[in-house]
Structure 1
């Protein structure tokens, strides 16, 4: 169904709301294990915790690649997105029924397979429905702010309170209802739209995977994803354990500090892509990655809980960069027909080699040398992003306009 004028903008706003909730709930579910691990009666070593997190990332990665390519080939996104939301909600609830590590491992792996396609599908829909001047902001709200609000602010508060009041099993089980409600809202609001032009694309429609990977920006975004997913997965998986066992914080204090990460996630998830709309994708990604190096170092060296929370709010900027390298830059590099493929490959390979292997490596290193090793791995990973980001080619419409004219007028967007 084609949309123009006020109807297009109204649909853009409604789509933003429902995809905000959908992607946010994915990250809410994904964060559950990190906060519920201390309450699981059969216990988890650092290595087991890393392996469980890695299993989800591994299947998430494969699913993202497959679902992105499949949706581009079929030209369908809505039905695949709704199916994914229903499935991961059901599997998340099943996680509360397991009786040992093996069952938990299988449940998390299956949940990753269901969740992996959500971000490529959601960001493809949002990129096509967004006006150019709002593309970075809209995609940042979906992937950054929603994850920060639901995965970073609500998740630690909700899961810790639920675990202490009704137990860790019911904490998993109650996630079923919100997921089904969100899937119902998607069925009503989301439209199965034909591909619309995205400013800055260079590839023909339905470009094959090998042609997508011939693009310099896509290859660099894949490498950046590997490093930044290692940074992210290591920080979110091992910071709660670090604060409890190394810093000696109480569960309540730990939850408060982790909530600060959630607030930062929400703020930077919006601010970083919005700033990139004005100054350019490349300088925004490089600059905020420099700050991200300091986040795991703050965990190691700042002992006061309040100062640590403040430091992490300032330095947890990498989560805002996720939207840039995983969605916006690929969307502005490839054609509409290859958009979900590019996003899926970037997210999938990053999850597979960074999100999956990163926590396993960090868990093994932590059991061998202590939890400081995990934080060092995270800091080095963010530092590598800084170097890789310097090789990106700019894609932001306003930045490209300025490069052609020293004093250009503001670009007017066509609805």
Structure 2
């Protein structure tokens, strides 16, 4: 193979990998969010309360967090990702279908907890594969498309009309059954076309692992990762921003139906606008950060995201709600930055999956496990508006923490280095006169 064809092959593989992982993580959220969209239809038959909805969301987040953190660290230590990713996709597809068999709260929470075990490893494994195959100039956009836009397009934009339409026509159980089919097809695509090592590349983790072993070192521990300022901040931001996300995505559908008195189809319109914003901001925010920097992007768009749950409380009509949600639902673009891009630019390659799993796991434990349960019990006592305000506070805290981040964007660091070099040259010229 010529030197010219090798970069071309790598570029082609980069796009193919992006497409497959885009579909993979998109359907993770299609399955994860299906419960929120179907809950207004399920609650009457199964006699479920808002507190129980929060507990089900919390159970999935707990197992997601533990599974993701453990699998990410294990993957870094063993240098294995592809087989684990295939197993995870098959697992969450089967568990999603099993959700259609539930007879009550206990079986529902059990099946969703199993689904969290399967879904947890998907993001750290996918982002680890993607960052290794991405060209530096496309890193932020690629990771934003994979994590932000994929979940928005398939989970929050296509998901509501498809899931609600199927449930209305055939029943909510049948909607769960059918949801497993795309996952089985995706697992085949990963097995057939995804490589453990990109074309023409050398596994960073293996190369560094060999160097570490020769030096008598060991795998990077979680405590060592937390000593990195950006990693610690990303862990804290994840706890706050996951509160914003999980609370709003869990309670917005039932809030719109019960408090804002929208029909299921009207609720579907608003949630589809939320999904459209997810798609747009999911790649636009990381792409903007490639140019202006990770830190200012996080500050600005986290603040805008805090407005979104407030919009749901005060918006007048379906279309006003949809428009304002589209403008303000910017947080999922930030997710790519603190959960993937900033950590990948902070730690050594052999620790990326472990760092991503740690950040995601901590966020899911606090924002995904604790927050929905608290919000659910509070919603039953004080009203569903409490959940919306709780979501807004989470985004505000994430904005405040972002002020302490250390910039990692390659383009910004390069401009700063050039500016410093120019300043030193000017000083030398002045001193030589």
Coarse TM-score class (shorter-chain normalised): over 0.9
2:307 to 275, 278, 294: 294
Residue 306 of structure 1 aligns to a residue whose secondary structure is: helix
The aligned residue for residue 17 of structure 1 is 19
The aligned residue for residue 195 of structure 1 is 203
Superposition map of 1:5-404 within 5 A? 5-40=7-42, 41-193=45-197, 194-196=202-204, 206-404=219-417
- Name structure 1 gaps, 5 residues minimum: 198-202, 410-415
CA contact (8 A) 1:207 1:335 kept: no
CA contact (8 A) 1:195 1:337 kept: no
- Name structure 2 gaps, 5 residues minimum: 206-210, 213-217, 423-433
Q: Distance in 2 between matches of 1:406 and 1:343?
A: 32
Q: Deviations over 1:285-312 (max 9, x none)?
A: 1100010110011011112111111111
Give the superposition deviation at 1:43: 2.7
CA contact (8 A) 1:144 1:270 kept: yes
The aligned residue for residue 200 of structure 1 is none
Counting matched residue pairs gives 403
CA contact (8 A) 1:37 1:43 kept: no
Residue 191 of structure 1 aligns to a residue whose secondary structure is: coil
CA contact (8 A) 1:76 1:192 kept: yes
Q: Deviations over 1:139-160 (max 9, x none)?
A: 0000011001001111111110
Q: Deviations over 1:293-342 (max 9, x none)?
A: 10011011112111111111111001110000000000001111100000
Q: Which has the larger radius of gyration?
A: 2
Residue 147 of structure 1 aligns to a residue whose secondary structure is: helix
Q: Distance in 2 between matches of 1:306 and 1:90?
A: 36
Give the superposition deviation at 1:209: 2.2
Give the superposition deviation at 1:407: 9.5
TM-score w.r.t. length of structure 2: 0.91
Q: Distance in 1 between matches of 2:39 and 2:400?
A: 35
